[in-house]
């Protein structure tokens, strides 16, 4: 079955616009509530993160789930009322036997006092599962600035490379498609941050850079097929050429994305907590990248070339020369 992507291109654009708009709204709400468009982790804002899990091997220690209100009362009594508190579930039993607290920077004495106070109220903690991380605010700002700089450099390099290899309109729409993927991923993560408390750390920046490369690679494959077809059949309508190029590369795009997603889903299901959000970001970005390459980048190029043909119809004598420059 042949896929006619340009026939329903308005639908593809509406779907993308709706998801991106929902993400932008979520980022605006998050900015009002959290002071950032995404829920930042310790990597960016600095402070101390403490994770405690009860020792369920002790009798009656895990009979009831942790009450978050009790945890908040303990934190308030320790002068940490503005802390971010989240309950975490045990991997095996799926019961909420742990607590994750993100707060201002604490020294060893204050961390010990907080742990002791919590242990008295909600049960004895398993020392083997205790996690404590401290990051200074200066390092957090440096990580954020470095990440943004890396993204800007990556986008600039893509524009230069595609402008040399193809034409400027190819480069522009490839960047639009890539920006589409970045916005979609960050928007969905912003929604997840508000609904489920999912935070973004320095690995999220790495995920965005990886998504950028994956998306552009997929788009270049389709654009290269379009360019080759234009050289061979310069008189064919651009819509037909784009549809053919998408169908000829469709199996490759689906197979590449599907095999990559299998590994990432395995990391989300069976990997450690550190890599889970990183893999989730890649899953969202790779799906968005495959979608944008097939339904956004290709249809935008066809729409633009149609406009050019209508405004500047090429004469028979110059048709071959114009095509050669495509």
pLDDT tens-place string over residues 65-116? 888 889 999 988 988 887 888 888 776 667 788 898 888 888 888 899 999 9
At which of 119, 135, 151 does a domain end?
135
Position 183 in a domain: yes
Are 126 and 143 in the same domain? no
Are 166 and 314 in the same domain? yes
> What pLDDT, in 10s, does the model give residues 262-294?
999 999 888 767 788 899 999 999 999 999 999
| Number of Cβ within a 10 Å radius of residue 64 | 12
Overall number of domains in the chain: 2
Distance, CA of 295 to CA of 5 (rounded, Å): 6
pLDDT, residue 313, reads: 64
Nearest to 221 by CA among 170, 269, 186: 170
Whole domain around residue 208: which residue ranges?
Answer: 9-40+138-320
At which of 100, 117, 135 does a domain end?
135
CB 17 within 8 A of CB 168: no
Are 251 and 316 in the same domain? yes
Exposure string over 243-253, b if 16+ CB within 10 A, otherwise e: bbbbbebbeeb
Position 325 in a domain: no
Are 25 and 53 in the same domain? no
> What pLDDT, in 10s, does the model give residues 10-46?
999 999 999 999 999 999 999 998 888 998 877 777 7
Q: How far is CA 199 from CA 11, 112, 195, 196, in A?
A: 32, 25, 11, 9
Q: State the average pLDDT over residues 216-245.
A: 90
| Number of Cβ within a 10 Å radius of residue 19 | 18
Distance, CA of 214 to CA of 209 (rounded, Å): 9
Are 220 and 188 in the same domain? yes
Helix (H/G/I), strand (E/B), else coil: 237: coil
Strand ranges in the chain using DSSP code E only, listed in sequence order: 47-53, 84-89, 96-103, 131-135
Question: Residue 324: pLDDT above 60?
Answer: no
Q: How would you class 235 by CB atoms within 10 Å of its CB: exposed for 0-12, middle for 13-18, buried for 19 or more?
A: exposed
The values of phi and psi at residue 242, to 5°, are: -65, -45
């Amino acid at each position: 079955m042949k896929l006619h992507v340009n026939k329903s291109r308005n639908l593809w654009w509406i779907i993308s616009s709706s998801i991106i708009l929902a993400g932008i709204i979520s980022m605006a709400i998050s900015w009002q509530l959290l002071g950032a468009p995404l829920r930042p982790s310790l990597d960016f804002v600095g402070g101390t993160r403490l994770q405690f899990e009860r020792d369920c091997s002790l009798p009656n220690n895990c009979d009831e789930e942790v009450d978050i209100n009790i945890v908040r009362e303990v934190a308030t009594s320790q002068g940490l009322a503005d802390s971010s508190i989240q309950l975490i579930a045990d991997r095996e039993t799926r019961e909420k036997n742990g607590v994750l607290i993100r707060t201002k920077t604490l020294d060893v004495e204050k961390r010990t006092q907080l742990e002791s106070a919590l242990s008295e109220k909600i049960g004895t903690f398993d020392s083997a599962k205790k996690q404590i991380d401290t990051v200074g605010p200066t390092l957090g700002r440096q990580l954020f600035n470095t990440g943004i700089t890396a993204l800007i450099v990556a986008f600039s390099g893509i524009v230069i490379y595609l402008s040399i290899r193809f034409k400027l309109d190819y480069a522009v729409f490839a960047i639009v498609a890539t920006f589409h993927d970045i916005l979609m991923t960050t928007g969905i993560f912003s929604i997840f941050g508000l609904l489920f408390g999912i935070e973004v750390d320095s690995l999220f920046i790495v995920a965005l850079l990886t998504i950028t490369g994956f998306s552009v690679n997929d788009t270049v494959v389709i654009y290269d097929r379009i360019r080759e077809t234009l050289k061979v059949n310069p008189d064919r309508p651009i819509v037909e050429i784009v549809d053919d190029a998408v169908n000829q590369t469709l199996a490759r795009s689906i197979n590449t994305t599907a095999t990559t997603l299998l590994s990432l889903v395995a990391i989300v299901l069976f990997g450690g907590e550190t890599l889970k959000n990183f893999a989730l970001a890649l899953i969202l970005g790779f799906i968005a990248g495959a979608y944008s390459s097939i339904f956004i980048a290709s249809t935008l190029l066809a729409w633009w070339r149609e406009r050019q043909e209508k405004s500047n119809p090429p004469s028979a004598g110059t048709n071959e020369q114009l095509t050669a420059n495509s």
